[in-house]
Amino acid sequence: MSTELYRDETLEPAGARARDSVAQEVEEWEATEVAAFIARQPEQKQEYLTGSRQPVQRVYTPADLADSKWEDIGLPGRYPFTRGPYPTMYRGRTWTMRQIAGFGTPAETNARFKYLIAQGQTGLSVDFDMPTLMGYDSDHQMSVGEVGREGVAVDVVDDMEALFDDINLEEISVSMTINPTAWILLAMYVVVAESRGYDLNKLSGTIQNDILKEYVAQKEWVYPIRPSLRIVRDTITFCAGAMARYNPINISGYHISEAGANPLQEVAFTMAITSAYVQEVVRSGLDVDEFAPRLSFFFIAQADLLEQVAKFRAVRRVYAKLMRDKFGAKKAESMRLRFHCQTSAETLTQAQPYNNIIRTALQALAAVLGGAQSLHTNGLDEAYTIPSEFAMKLALRTQQIIAEETSVTQTADPLGGSYYVESLTNQLEAGIWEYLERIELMGGTVAAIEQNFMQREMADSAYEHALRKASGEHVVVGVNKYVDSENDQEIEVHQGDPAAEKNQIAQLARVKASRDQSEVARSLSELREAASDNETNLMAATIRAVRARVTMGEIVSALEEIFGRYIETPVF
């Protein structure tokens, strides 16, 4: 309908002539209305900045988009995917409501999963306890006091079976937040699936498996960087061949942000890390289009709503260009960035905990306006401990209200075309490319991590943020402003079962006593052999070991003999 109108420059506000006149009008408006108004009532701040410390103008107009190309904005489901990975977005399918859960023994977590499914949750997400995340069995001395505390304990394949007891894994997607030990947990998942007769190609789910951000941000590691990168490569190539619908990696900015990065650093470092994985897998001989469609991402939704939306749009665009132009991807699916999103736990406060519900709702709205594919909303009590059942239900209801009451889901990328959001998207995109260039000059992502580059940038941002919070420049309601003298917001917090640790250790002892020891020894020596040859894929030997009920801790230690252990030099 609009082709004719579009060609008529006078009706096309982004046309060059119109833009010049807009710029002139803005200048004239600044000199008249704005100046007069400010003379009567000064603005509240000298300088307005986004979370990434990008200056914000008083108003945005077509003049700010003078250098923008329609090709960079485009349509949803089409390169460069600025507006979303799918053409119909939430009209076709609402995002997956995926509340993470995990505590105590596998049986306890299994009960929480069933509760969440009954409440209308559409995907599962597993949180493991610290020993499982770090590669220690529940009976290891490093595990004392931490078994089942922050997540569920999984030592051996029997635990994985119990975790998903009575849950059909062909029907629900399962995401596992696990990193240095991800390949072992994936092997356990495969063994459980095989024992139930599932078709591996039908399983959908994700392992986080993003080891590089661990050295930068979350700090869960076992082995040094290079062998760890090889393990990631092995899981990606394994899934490319055997698990058509499974995401072997979830490249995560979330933790980079929570560890202190600003939004620009979050997405820039995530893209740098992505490049490193893609390079590593391509080097092993796999074509980029054979695995890139299954790369998945994970970002945070922070408080600064409009910058967050721009951030999601910018990173989608950068990824598309990176995959096409740097890695030569041909398939559209290799260029479209799909992401899981979680609201920011770091913004939640112990003071006035009910306020956290509102914070989370607004952050979740940013995720949805930014086109997230799945979402976890934090519980109001997360500044205290892991969330209670009630807190998780409220968090899920928050998503359901956004999905079904607000109507923001009716059109794709509803903020696309906003002069401000488009300008900020451009600004963030430019910032990402700048960081990527700097990292390239340092010798690439791994070299930059080894030189503590990202770590230092993030420590600086975190420290500056803490000072702004302390000075009151960054307002946190209930903490540095509108502080209550008395606590009138009592909440019930999750109470862990003190017997969980003992029960889990007893279960592990039973498994260890009942397995075929010679089979254990044989599969461990096979694993060591596989690990010694950098070209061998570790997955096959790991799956055999898991089937023989070798524990995660045993696998981890066996390979530590070959790979060594990572030692950090911290910067602050």
Partner 1 sequence: MESLPVGSQSPPIRVLVAKAGLDGHDRGVKIVARALRDAGMEVIYTGLHRTPAQIVDAAVQEDVDAVGISLLSGAHMTVFPEVIRLLTELGVAQDICLIGGGVMPDKDVDTLTAMGVAAILGQDTPPDVIVETVRRLVAERRRAASAAGRK
Residues of the shown chain interacting with partner 1 in the complex, contacts defined by CB under 8 A? 130-131, 133-134, 136, 142-146, 149-150, 214, 218-220, 258-260, 346, 349-351, 383-386, 459, 462-463, 466-467, 469-470, 476, 479-480, 493, 496, 568, 570-572
| 131 versus 416: smaller Cβ distance to partner 1 | 131
Q: How far is the CB of 145 from partner 1 (least distance, A)?
A: 3
Q: How far is the CB of 218 from partner 1 (least distance, A)?
A: 6
Which stretch of DSSP H or E encloses residue 278? helix 263-283
Instruction: Answer whether the bond into residue 80 is a cis peptide, omega within 30°.
Output: yes
| 128 versus 420: smaller Cβ distance to partner 1 | 128
Q: How far is the CB of 455 from partner 1 (least distance, A)?
A: 9
Dihedral Cα 337, 342, 347, 352, nearest 10 deg: 150
Which stretch of DSSP H or E encloses residue 20? helix 16-29
| 126 versus 415: smaller Cβ distance to partner 1 | 126
| 166 versus 486: smaller Cβ distance to partner 1 | 486
| 409 versus 557: smaller Cβ distance to partner 1 | 557
Q: How far is the CB of 416 from partner 1 (least distance, A)?
A: 33
Spatial distance between the Cα atoms of 217 and 282, rounded to a whole number of angstroms: 25
Instruction: Describe the crossing of helices 538-547 and 517-532 by its angle, rounded to 10 degrees.
Output: 170
Spatial distance between the Cα atoms of 63 and 323, rounded to a whole number of angstroms: 30
For 327, list phi and psi in degrees, rounded to 5: -105, 0
How far, rounded to the nearest angstrom, does the alpha carbon of residue 136 sit from its chain's CA centroid? Answer: 24
Name the strands in the sheet holding 249-252, side by side, starting at the edge strand that comes first in the sequence: 96-97, 374-376, 339-343, 295-301, 249-252
| 79 versus 384: smaller Cβ distance to partner 1 | 384
Q: How far is the CB of 148 from partner 1 (least distance, A)?
A: 10
| 153 versus 403: smaller Cβ distance to partner 1 | 153
Q: How far is the CB of 520 from partner 1 (least distance, A)?
A: 25
Secondary structure of 523-556 in HEC code, one letter for each residue: HHHHHHHHHHCCCCCHHHHHHHHHHCCCCHHHHH
- Six-digit token string for 381: 């009590």
Q: How far is the CB of 69 from partner 1 (least distance, A)?
A: 38
Q: How many CB atoms lie within 10 A of CB 262?
A: 27
Which stretch of DSSP H or E encloses residue 276? helix 263-283
Count H helices and E strands in the chain, helices first: 23, 10
| 350 versus 400: smaller Cβ distance to partner 1 | 350
* Sign of the C-alpha dihedral computed for residues 515, 516, 522 and 525 taken in this order: positive
Q: How far is the CB of 234 from partner 1 (least distance, A)?
A: 24
| 46 versus 141: smaller Cβ distance to partner 1 | 141
Q: How far is the CB of 490 from partner 1 (least distance, A)?
A: 10
| 438 versus 469: smaller Cβ distance to partner 1 | 469
DSSP 457: H
Query: What string of DSSP letters covers 78-101?
Result: STT-TT-SSSSGGGT-PPEE--EE
* Sign of the C-alpha dihedral computed for residues 218, 220, 221 and 227 taken in this order: negative
Q: How far is the CB of 276 from partner 1 (least distance, A)?
A: 20
Looking at residue 370, its amino acid is: G
